[in-house]
Amino acid sequence: MKQKLVAGNWKMNGSLAANEALVQGIAQGLNAALAGQQAQVAVCVPAAYLSQVQQLTQGSAIELGAQDLSSYEQGAYTGEISAAMLQDFAVRFAIVGHSERRQYHAESDELVAVKAQRALSAGITPIVCVGETLAEREAGQTEAVVKRQLAAVIHTNGHCISEIVVAYEPVWAIGTGLTATPEQAQAVHAVLRAQLQAATSHADRVQILYGGSMNAANAAQLLSQPDIDGGLIGGAALKPADFLTIIAAAAR
């Protein structure tokens, strides 16, 4: 049975002092949260803090993640960060296609697919985000939207698709305090699992995370669903006690 993955997305939050306190708080409570069980734990941090957090997590079970990467390998792309640069910091995961990138930076399905490809080629596991808006859900388009978004990544990455992580993040539930019910989340995860099964014989090794306001109070219920393999955690990832509670639920 594959381990569940709990990945914290710090978004544009942090400072040198706050990061140190947060990572130390997580590291100190990690063994107790796992209680002899297994779960993967990662923190996806702003690029400016990769070096600091690499040092802070060294020797711990906390893996390092980035929040984005460039679709280009190198060159005259001011402000961009390449997969090779992330390699220098031993980055294990990179979020691609987060709804905030799709919304605020107009990232297309095709661009997200290329970013996933760049990550994979550098030995970095992309956490590919898919999800629908409230309007799309109310119009009954949830399944069509997430399948379209994932299809682009499958088309571009072919047989490597079993090496990705998928995160279902209903846009209407991100940072709003609203959360899909466990049944609603499971229904979409099952659709994504079936789509992966049609694309690869190794679909069962792909972790599909839930990323819509998972918190300490609802994590256990969400993580008990058969196709929810972990969480992409926003606000709760900035609070050691809450993050550790989610990790404990994932390890059970």
Which residues are tagged catalytic? 98, 169
Give the tokens for residue 118: 């760049």
Residue labelled with tokens 């839930």? 210
**114 contact partners, CB below 8 Å, separation of at least 6:** 71, 156
Q: Report which of 244, 246, 220, 249 is spatially closest to residue 30, judged by C-alpha positions.
A: 244
Q: What is the CA radius of gyration of the chain?
A: 17
Q: CA 191 from chain center: how many Å?
A: 18
- Which two three-digit tokens encode residue 82? 């390449």
Residue 232 near residue 7, CB atoms below 8 Å: yes
The Cα 252–Cα 247 span in angstroms is 9
Sign, CA dihedral 44-50-54-55, equals negative
* Environment class of 13 (CB within 10 Å of its CB; exposed 0-12, middle 13-18, buried 19+): middle
> Is there a contact between 233 and 246 (Cβ–Cβ < 8 Å)?
yes
- Would you state the structure tokens that stand for residue 168, as one six-digit string? 């279902």
